[in-house]
Amino acid sequence: MKVEIFSDIVCPWCYIGHTRFARAAEAFRAKGGVIDVTMRPYQLNPDAPAEGEPLIPALERKFGPNVAQMTSRVTAAGAEDGLDLRFDQAISANTFEAHRLVEVATGQGLGEEMTGRLFRAHFTDGLNVGDPQVLAKLAAETGVRDTGEGADAVREQVARAARLGITGVPLFLFEEQFAVSGAQPVETFAAAVDEVAARTGQTPITQLATPGDGCDDDGYCAV
């Protein structure tokens, strides 16, 4: 089964959704199923500077003084899945180069691992995922040899996401025709995987679950 996950490194619901889906995929494989996951890029704020800035002030400029309340809900949700989300240490940055690195890693069979490391770097380690030196260090940690390629592929996939009508992430696209959006519970992802395994030959993108929590172009995650 082919699954494409459209996400952005600085989207907390993408991190949570990535973690939950990985558990559902592991359960499917444990039952003897075959599932091939490919990470796809999406930029919530393509104009963000590569040099980065502290996340909380950037959020406050955009959404006002209630940012702490906004982030506390996401922090609690992440904790339930074993994730340590530290918004007070996170750096708002451009994610294009991070996506390019994921594209390179995907070609080396390490796309999911590289994405997971980038999520943790941004949300837990307080690292600037737009900094080339940081990315080089993370690539080395993950065993990825950065060839410097992948930029054109990232642009192509970002444009494809627009053609597909994707305006929020995470979005999980099964077999290029069935879609689940948002950070759904593990049980919902597992049910969707089982359903797709039983359904083939349909061409439209069909929502297999009601939208879950995610980040869209107008949401507070767009930083």
103-143 pLDDT, tens digit per residue, is 999 999 999 999 999 999 999 999 999 999 999 999 999 99
Name the average pLDDT for the chain: 91
CATH number for the region 2-216 comes to 3.40.30.10
Cα distance between residue 124 and residue 122, in whole Å? 6
Residue 159 pLDDT level (bands cut at 50, 70, 90): very high
Ordered by start, the domain boundaries in the chain are 2-216
What are the φ and ψ backbone dihedral angles of 64, each rounded to 5 degrees? 90, -165
Q: Quick check: 206 pLDDT over 60?
A: no
pLDDT(201) > 50:
no
Structure tokens at 43: 């930029």
pTM of the model: 0.89
Tokens for 41? Answer: 């890029």
Residue 189: closest CA among 69, 35, 20: 20
Q: Which residues contact 141 (CB under 8 A, 6 or more apart)?
A: 117
Mean pLDDT of 195-223: 65
Beta strands in 8-123 (DSSP E): 36-41, 53-54, 91-92
pLDDT number for residue 98: 98
The HSE-up count of residue 22 (CA atoms within 13 Å, CB side) is 13
Assess whether pLDDT exceeds 60 at residue 222: no
pLDDT value for 203: 36
